[in-house]
Chains A and B, each alone.
Chain A
Amino acid sequence: MKHLKAVFGNDTRQFGMIFALIALIVFFQVRTNGLLLTPTNVINLFQGNSYILVLAIGMVLVIIAGHIDLSVGSVAAAVGISVAIAMRDWSLPWGLAILFGLLIGAIIGAWQGFWVAYVGIPAFIVTLAGMLIFRGLNQKIGDSDSIPVPNGYQVIGRGYLPEFGPLTGYNNLTLIIGLALIAAIVTGALRTRRNQRKIGADMAPMWTVVVRLLLICGAILAVTLLFASGRRGTSFPVSGLILGVLVLIYSFVSSRTVIGRHVYAVGGNKHAAELSGVKSKQINFLVMMNMSILAALAGMMFVARSTASGPSDGVNWELDAIAAVFIGGAAVSGGVGTVVGSIVGGLVMAVLNNGMQLLSVGADDTSIIKGLVLLLAVAFDVYNKSQGRPSLIGRLTSGRRDRPAVEQPAPADPARNISETVHTEA
Chain B
Amino acid sequence: MRRITTIAVAVTAASALALAGCGRADEGAANTGSGGGSTAGSTGGGTAGFPADSLIGVSLPQKTSENWVLAENLFKTDLAGAGFKTDVQFANNGVAEQQNIVQSMVTKGAKVIVIGPIDPAQLGTQLQAAKDAGATVISYDRLLSNSPNVDYFAAYDNVKVGELQGQALLDGLKAKKPNGPYNIEIFAGAPIDGNATSFYDGAMKVLKPKIDDGTLKVVSGQTGFKQAATADWKGENAQKRMDTLLAGSYTNAQLDGVLSPNDTIARAILTSVKQAGKPIPVVTGQDSEVESVKSIVAGEQYSTINKDTRKLVKATVQMVKDLQAGKQPQVTDTSSYNNGTKVVPALLLPPMIVTKANVKEAYADDPTLSKLTNG
Contact = CB atoms under 8 A, between A and B. Distances in A.
A13 B182 CA distance: 72
B91 interface: yes
Interface stretch (A35-43, A245-253, A375-383): A35-43
A306 B24 CA distance: 28
Contacts of A305: 99, 125
A262 interface: no
A311 B31 CA distance: 34
Contact of A170 (B24, B91, B92, B100): B24
A398 interface: no
Given A306-B95, A313-B95, A363-B90, A41 B23 contact: no
A190 to B, nearest CB: 4
A225 B87 CA distance: 30
A302 B30 contact: no
B7 A186 contact: yes
A53 B146 CA distance: 27
A139 to B, nearest CB: 8
Contacts of A29: none
Nearest to A316: B93
A182 B123 CA distance: 36
A178 to B, nearest CB: 8
Contact of B23 (A169, A312, A360, A363): A169
A179 B146 CA distance: 39
Interface stretch (B9-17, B40-48, B213-221, B317-325): B9-17
B94 A144 contact: no
A169 B90 contact: no
B92 A145 contact: no
A177 to B, nearest CB: 12
Interface in B87-128: 87, 89-97, 99-101, 103-104, 106-108, 118-125
Contacts of B103: 44, 48
B277 interface: no
Contacts of A170: 19, 23-24
Contacts of A306: 95, 99, 119, 121-125
A357 B99 contact: no
Interface string A177-195: 0110011001100110010
A357 B97 CA distance: 10
Given A145-B192, A148-B340, A170-B19, A362 B89 contact: yes
A307 interface: yes
Given A40-B30, A357-B101, A231 B121 contact: no
A354 interface: yes
Interface in A312-352: 312-313, 315-316
Contact of A363 (B93, B99, B146): B93
A38 B340 contact: no
B292 to A, nearest CB: 26
A187 to B, nearest CB: 5
B67 interface: no
Contacts of A384: none
Contacts of B49: none
A132 B255 CA distance: 34
Closest 6 CB pairs of A and B: A307-B124, A169-B23, A146-B121, A144-B191, A306-B122, A308-B121
Given A48-B100, A307-B122, A307-B124, 15 more contacts: A41-B30, A44-B104, A154-B124, A183-B9, A229-B23, A231-B25, A302-B96, A306-B121, A306-B122, A307-B147, A357-B89, A358-B104, A360-B87, A363-B97, A364-B63
Interface of B: 3-5, 7-9, 11-12, 15-16, 18-19, 22-25, 27-31, 63, 87, 89-97, 99-101, 103-104, 106-108, 118-125, 129, 132, 145-147, 191-192, 226, 229, 340
16 contacts: A38-B29, A40-B29, A146-B119, A146-B122, A148-B121, A169-B24, A187-B8, A191-B4, A231-B28, A310-B121, A312-B118, A312-B192, A354-B100, A360-B89, A362-B90, A364-B92
